[in-house]
Amino acid sequence: MRMFIAINFDETVKEQIIQVQDRLRKHSLKGNFTHHENIHLTLVFLGELPESKIDTIKRIISSIEFEPFQIKFSHTGSFDRDDGKLFYLELEQCDQLLSIQKKLTAMLLESKFIIENRKFFPHLTLSRKTIIKSVFKEQNLDIKSG
């Protein structure tokens, strides 16, 4: 089973994200856009794991204490890929989010999970395999959750 730990958003935030996607679609020839029900912010990607690991993962998630916090998306960005661009929403710096992600990672590693060794880049994927017909870059977005 493919597993990851992520933050989900309420419908109000998802609708704002969909509006940005719709503007991106207008600038695209084609793309694989993230479906409404799949909109999330990945904190840790775990990959293929047996179902037997779910209880351990739940225990780790439940043990992390934090105060409510707000996430604010600041602008769009993209990565070049062989099959097109990957477009994403980037977040403003959020120390609480970074702290939670760091704690999750440390506890998962302690429990012998294998995690990619790369710097955490908090973002929400809007589309993959996107071919652009005109320039698309949105800044100063006012999408907040929390």
27 is catalytic: no
Kindly name the residue from 35, 36, 75, 123 that is annotated as catalytic: 123
User: Do the Cβ atoms of 130 and 31 come closer than 8 Å?
Assistant: yes
Kindly name the residue from 35, 36, 40, 75 that is annotated as catalytic: 40
C-alpha closest to that of 120 among 98, 137, 92, 96? 98
Sign, CA dihedral 24-27-31-35, equals: positive
40 is catalytic: yes
Using the 8-state DSSP alphabet, how is residue 138 labeled?
A: -
- Per residue, the 3-state secondary structure of 13-80, as one string, reads HHHHHHHHHHHHHHCEEEEEECCHHHCEEEEEEEEECCHHHHHHHHHHHHHCCCCCCCEEEEEEEEEE
Q: Which residues are catalytic?
A: 40, 123
